[in-house]
Each structure stands twice: as structure tokens, then as C-alpha cells.
Amino acid sequence: MLTPGSTLGGRYQLTERIASGGMGDVWKAEDGVLGRVVAVKVLLPALLEEPGFVERFRDEARTMATINHPGVVKVYDFGESDLPGGGKASFLVMEYVESEPLNQVLSRVGRLTPPRAMDLIAQGADALQAAHEKGIIHRDVKPGNLLIRPNGTLVLTDFGISRSGAGSNLTAVGSTLGTAAYMSPEQASGQVAGPLSDVYSLGIVAYQAVAGHRPFENENPLAVAMMHIRDTPPPIPADVPAPIRQFIEVSMAKDAATRWPSASAMAHAARTVGAGGPMPPPPGRPGYQSSPMPPATTRTSVMPPVVPPVIPPGNTGELRQGGYPKGTAPVPVSGPPRPQAYYPPEPPKKGKGLIVAMIAGGVVLLLLLAGIAYAVARGGANNKNKKNPVTVTTSEAVPPPAPRTSAAAVKVDIPCEELKGKQFEVADKRLRELGLKVNVNPVESDTVKEGRVVDVPCEANKGDAVTVQVSKGGNTFPTGFPTFPGGSTSPSPKPPKSPTATPTTHTNGVSQ
């Protein structure tokens, strides 16, 4: 049994146990060779009995040690040591980080100012990009694994359940692949996690940082995992700038293909909106807009639907402003070179755009006149006495048709008054029996107990998604929060108690 004073590998003298987790204990230790303080993770003896686990752990440690980035905790050494009472101990030696985990920061201050939150998210995305470039997927990105140094910089730690591109997996058989509250839909549905799974998890962290609470909360981790798959998150507070809300929407997209295509692109977008700039279109999807954004300019409305536009979608004036405002530049991040980040193209000169529009309009007008002349001539030649009118299709822009309402829509009467005050599980079951989908919106209530229904619509069409307002307790919160390095926090309600999906201990800046 290890105790303070024990030495591993003839070099690392343990001084105090600072964290415990599912894969082992983390100790603060003195490196007798280099004379520095380190963190030593000692694997649980049960893990050593799994065939091939030690070899996989050693290979993964070697891969992680190649990551040279200030935002990723450094791996120094890996070894095995005989224990005084018999048996062996396998251990991993890492950088000891003097810091405060982000989850403790959020518990203390409630929520961060949007610019400060975006700064931390950008740093976290930079760190993830460094890992992804080495083929390592973190798979457990959460506030507890984002350490904030006293100078405000962020360090990503605890790759305990990471997976490398080579296929090695540090997760013991049967252990949880991530924390339910931050798990991506693909992880929750049993699919293999990829780089965009980490992007989603970091998007959940961004939501929590600006909203003061997680988007999906339930005492049952399985229920939370299902929410990631099927439910729409509650709206982010209106005092958060729209570009930042839209940035988080993209980060938390259910379909991985519609998220930021890389952690690097996510970092660039976070810095753009954090600096007050508009939301840049995600790379690979020109002209991206989320529903809260105003419609694109109508300068191409003169073009007929059948004529391809001269200017590619997304090159409108509003969306081109997705670059940095004048006088603003991205925050430089040290470390190894990164793939080229996405920068929206420069807008064309107005004079050139006007000439193109005039030429296109002239072509359309000629086609229109030619079509009318041909139709009239043909109608007269065939039969002057025919009373059938000649139909001429013009190239005038036609507004899109209104959404069609299915004639087979079945109206459902919801027993709303009966469901108010009921446990959410009861209401959820009843609504699904009526053929409805259910979204949850946690709200504060001084009159309805936590976990019970505050309000629910009284009617809907079968198959519709209805939003159930569920009480998260009374509004007995402080009027303000202390400041945090990099900016003061906005007054906001204290976040509700977070469910503990996986027991985790954080001490002295090391998480497990």
C-alpha cells in the first residue's frame, strides 16, 4: 500500500494524495532527479490484471508525451515499481499544475462574462487541436478537466479515457466513456467518438459558462445521455450576444457534420465572436445562418430560380463581416504550428458587384422578351380562334411557397391542467403516449416543487415536439457574483445543483 514517503521507480517520492478517480489515485510527488514537483497517477491494481492494459497505457503515454502545447498538461514519464508489501504499481508522471478547475470557478461565480468565456473556450479548442493532430481524442472534456492558472490561462488535463487514432483505448472494460452531462450524441448512442465529439463537449462547457447551468440536467445519467440525442437545449439568456449564442448552437449541433469542422475552426470562431465580431460561417458551409440571424441580403432576388447565381452563396455583405473587426486580431497562441484557420473571404468592391448585377439583369431581360415573343408568335400561328390563354413564365423572383400543412395532421388535446404539478416523469410518459415529442425547459418557481411540471401546452399536432417547463426550485439567489481574472461576471441566478454522473475529485489543480 502506498503512503506519503513511498518512492516509485527509485525517483518519485510521494508527498500527498491529491485526487482519486476511476483509474487510480493521483499523488503530489518530488522528483529526486530533477528536483521538481510532479503529479503521479498510480493505476488501480485491478486494471493491471486486464490483458494488454499496461502495454496500451504505455503506448498512449508515449503518444501524449509528444504533444508540445502550453494548453495541454505535460506527460514526463511512465514506469513500473515493486511495492514493499509485494506486487507492482504502474504509474504515469505528469506536470503538476497550480490552478483551479473551471467547475469550481463556475460554482463560485455562477457564470462568466461572454468575452471571458469565449477566451477560455478558444484556449480549450487550441489544446484539443494539439491533441487531435496527434490522433488523440479526449472523450471527457468537461469543466473539471479544464484547469485555470492564476494568470488566466487554461490547461487541458486528464486524458484518462482518451483514444488514439491507432486504436488504443485507455478505458478499462466496463467503465464510463465520458461524463453524461457533457457526452456527445454519438457517444451517448454507442458510436465511436471522434474529434467533433470533443467539439460538442466543449460547446456544452461554453453553454454552461455563459448560461450558469448545463443545458441538460437530470438525476439519472442515462436520462441526460438521451437528452443529448433527442432534446433541444433551453434558450441561452438573452443578455448573451447573438453571435455567441449562434456559435454555441453550431458547437452543440446534434449532427457532427454541421458542427465546427475542427477544434482549430472552433477556436477561431470563439475569438471572433468574443471580440464582438459577427458569427463567421462554418468552413465548408458557405452562407451558413442559424435561425435567429436576419435573412441574407436580397440583392440576388432579381435572378430567376433557374439561373445559377453569379456570386456563390455566403458571399453576401453581412456574412463577409465574419472576419475580425478593424483593429482587432486573434489572440496569439504559442505552441506547434496549427492547420490554417478559416477566415471568411474579403468582400468584393461595390463597383464590381454593381457591374455584375447589371449584366445579369440585362441577360434576364433579354431572355424574358425572347420568351414572350416566341410564345405569342407560336400561339398565333397555331390557332387564332383558340381561347386558351398563353401562359408565359417570367424570370421574376418568386417568393418561396409557404410551408405546407399536412392534411393528415391530427390535433391532440393535452390534459395540461391535469399535468401541472405532476412529476416530470409522469408528464413525459403521458405526452409520449399521446404521440408527442418532449423537450424540457428548466425554470425557477417559488410555488412548484423541484422536478414537477410548471406549465405545458394544452394542444398540439400529433408528432409535434412540445416544451414542458419543469421547476428547478425557488429564486433564492444572490444579487451579484465576485470577479474573475479577465473580467467581472454578470449578475445571474445561481446554477441549480448539478447531478453527479461520475464521482470526481479535484484537488490542487489536478482532476481525475
Which residues are identified as catalytic? 140
Is residue 217 a contact partner of residue 496, using CB atoms and an 8 Å limit?
yes
- Retrieve residue 255's grid coordinates: 449532427
b (16+ CB within 10 A) / e for 342-353:
bebeeeeeeeeb
| DSSP run (H or E) holding 242 | helix 242-251
Residue with cell 504550428: 337
**Cβ distance 395 to 367 under 8 Å?**
yes
Contacts of 1-10 with C-beta under 8 Å, sequence gap 24+, read 1/83, 1/85, 2/27, 2/42, 2/83, 2/89, 6/84, 7/32, 7/81, 8/40, 8/42, 8/79, 8/81, 8/89, 8/91, 9/77, 9/79, 9/80, 9/81, 9/91, 10/81
Contact (Cβ atoms closer than 8 angstroms) between residue 119 and residue 273:
no
Three cell numbers at 466?
Answer: 412540445
For residue 193, give every residue at least 6 positions away whose Cβ sits within 8 Å of its Cβ, in sequence order, or none: 137, 139, 163, 177, 178, 184, 186, 187
Contact 443, 474 (CB under 8 A): no
**Are 219 and 472 a contacting pair, CB within 8 Å?**
no
Write the DSSP assignment of 143-175 as a string of letters: GGGEEE-TTS-EEE---TT-EETT--B-SPTT-
Which one, of 287, 277, 286, lies nearest residue 323 by Cα? 277
Residue with cell 475529485: 505
**H or E, element range at 437:** strand 437-443
Q: How far apart are CA 53 and CA 50, in angstroms?
A: 6
